[in-house]
Each structure stands twice: as C-alpha cells, then as structure tokens.
Amino acid sequence: MRRGAGLDVLIVSLGSTEGLRQADEQLRGSLARAGARVTIAHARPPSPVRTLALTDLGWARAARAAAAHALAAQGGSTRAVIYSSTTAALLWPRPGAIRFDATAAGNRPGRDGVWQRPLERRRLAQAALLLPWSAGALDEAPATARRGDRAVVLPAVVAPSGAPGPPAQPQQAAAGPAEPRDIVALTYAANPHKKGLDRVLAAWRALRGARPRAGEELLVAGVGEQALRESAPGQPLEGVRALGTLLPADFRALLRRARAFVCAPRREDYGLAQLEALADGCQLVTTPAPGPYAALPIARALDPRLVDCRLERALRAALDDPLPDYAERAQAALLPFTAAEADRIVLEELLPRLLSPG
C-alpha cells in the first residue's frame, strides 16, 4: 500500500457496549495487518437520559465531536472514515462507510426511533460502503440503502478464549468435585428486559420444580441482586445467583466452565455473547427471536432441541441429554467468524473499495 503523510482510515467508535468496543479494536487490527494506517476516534459517553431517542442523540453528538476533532487533527489528509454503528453516522461531519450490527429501522420502533429512522435512511443511502456484521443486519436496512453493490458483510470476530473444559455431560455422569464443567447454567442480562431475563428465570424455576437437584445454580452475569429481583417480582429465586458486571475475561472464564448458556431475548441484534459461548465449548440454549440473530441458525443446526419457545424443555435437553460432538461441530460452524477470515475480507474486499480513488 502506498504510504502518504496522512491517515488511511479513521474509525469513529461509538463504544457504547463492550461488544462494539471489541469489534472496533478487531477492525483496527485487521486494517493495520492489511497495511493501512488506522486510528480510532472514541466518542465520549454522554450523560444518562430517560429515553432511547435522547440517548441516541447524545451518542450521535459525541460521535460527531470525536470525528470532527480527529479529522481536524489530520488536517484533511484522512482518506476514508468508517462510522461504527448507524448512530455514530447520524450527525457525521463527513460522509464515510458505516459498519453496523443492527439498524434503527429494526431496533428502534415507535417513539424510540422517531428521529433516528428517517435520518438513518439518508445516511445509509449516502454511505460510501455498508459494512453489516451479518447478512441479516443488511436485510433490515431500507431497500434504498441496499441498492447496488455497496455492502461487504464483515462479522465480528469470535474465538475461543482459552482451553475449554470437556463437553458437557449429563448430571448422572459427572465426575465429582473435579468436573471442569462445574457451572450448570449461565446467562447474560445487562439489559434485562431485552435479554428476556424474566423468561430465563421462569424456565429455571420450572426446571427446578420438575427435577430438583442439590447444588445446581443459574449464574446471571451483567446484573445485580436488585435487577434480578425486579425481573421476577414475588417469585422465589432459589438456585439463582447474580454476579453483577464482569470484566470480559472473567465472563469468558465462566463460559469455559458452563454446561449451558441460556437466553430468551425479545430481540437480538447479533448475539455476540451466544457466539462466545459456542466458541468456548458451551451449549447454546435459546428461544427464537426477531432481529439479525447470527447465532440462531448455528444453534438450530447444532441441536434443534435447544432452540425452543419452551425454554425449560430446551434446557432440560441440554443438561440431561447433551450431544457428545456438540462442541466440535460448534468450532467448525464458527469458521466464518475467525480473525483469519476477517483479515481476508478486509484485505481482499474492504480495503480496495474503501480506498479506491473512485
């Protein structure tokens, strides 16, 4: 790649979730390995407000300020800009490419997206390139934005976090206190309503009522005791433990020990935690959900019994009758999400189009 005095690519990072921050760092790494000069402009988190519409406005303004500052610092020599999320692009100071896991058209219905949706349609139509995390995310974009050959699907990278424990085994085959898969079930519920924590807790109560076993616990990451109780008002919470907010490495360490990751999202924009569970050898137990849920077709292919509106039934199958080759087949299914595949897409498809003079 030709080296000039300026910057090849500026990534404008919204960074409103850990998943977005990780994806931006992964993209920076892939671009750098492809030979680009790249930097990230981080939006400063806005003050909390009461509605999603105002929350998005605060983040959009913060992204605009971060982009404008970074562009000014380069004196106009930046060749291309990638806005990470449609929210980051809404008030852009300069057109660029847009990378997104979901659109406001999909996840901001009604009043929640009253101003974002029409502006998002214009920005997606104006963007130099669209970089959806999944084909499903692109399908949710307005038809005007999907015209022509303007999209490169670039999944977020998912990889094993370490050496996972052995495949999950039925409780009756457990090897005693030294069993590495010593966590029965784990869920993540940083947004309890959207993640369906109330549904997960109901399924867990039903499971315990049908097959009470001493010592079995559901661990809930991302929330504290108060949010846990608010998700099951007046209901018993035996065998449930809230872990609060965890560092990413601590969460992945739990996945390596868990037999089942269980979730019941009301909508899923991608399903990064679910993909991480599969990468770490954990069975994915989930209800179907609307949205570009990238982990859902993989879960169905691995074991259709574990994708069920009756979550208690799916959880029972995972714990009492796990498929012995589940973890191995999950690794094969995740090949499109590897760093090597992301690097190939960036080198062969993204960068030539992003930096093309035309």
pLDDT attached to residue 178: 36
pLDDT in tens, 82-128: 999 999 999 999 999 999 999 999 999 999 999 999 999 999 999 99
Q: Which helix (H) or strand (E) holds 124?
A: helix 116-126
pLDDT bin (cut points 50, 70, 90) of residue 173 is very low
The pTM assigned to this predicted structure is 0.91
Polymer length in residues for the chain: 358
Distances in whole angstroms, Cα of residue 317 to Cα of each of 104, 148, 154: 36, 45, 33
Residue 166's pLDDT band (cuts 50, 70, 90)? low
Radius of gyration of the chain (CA): 21
Q: In what order do the strands lie in the sheet with 80-84?
A: 38-42, 9-13, 80-84, 97-100, 130-132
Q: Would you place residue 218 in the very low, low, confident or very high pLDDT band (cuts 50, 70, 90)? A: very high
Please report, for residues 210, 245, 266, the alpha-carbon distance to residue 223 in angstroms, rounded to integers and kept in the order given.
27, 6, 17
Q: Is 244 left (phi over 0), alpha (psi -120 to 50) or beta?
A: left
User: What pLDDT band is residue 1 in, cutting at 50, 70 and 90?
Assistant: very low
User: Following CA atoms 119, 120, 126, 128 in sequence, which dihedral angle do they give, to the nearest 10 degrees?
Assistant: 150
Contact (CB, 8 A) for 24 and 13: yes
Decide: 200 and 264 in contact? Cβ < 8 Å. yes
Alpha carbons 218 and 160: distance in angstroms, whole number: 22
pLDDT band at 171 (very low <50, low <70, confident <90, very high): very low
Domains of the chain, start order: 9-156+338-354 (3.40.50.2000), 171-336 (3.40.50.2000)
**Of the ranges 72-86, 154-168, 274-288, 331-345, which one carries the lowest mean pLDDT score?**
154-168
In the DSSP assignment, the letter for residue 290 is: S
pLDDT of residue 73: 93
pLDDT at 169: 62
Q: For 37, phi and psi rounded to 5 degrees?
A: -85, 120
What's phi and psi for 78, nearest 5 deg? -70, 130
CB atoms within 10 A of CB 101: 28
Residue pLDDT, tens place only, 326-350: 999 999 999 999 999 999 999 999 9
What DSSP string describes 141-193?
A: S-GGGGSSS-B---PPP----S---PPP--GGG--STT-S--EEEEEE-SSHH
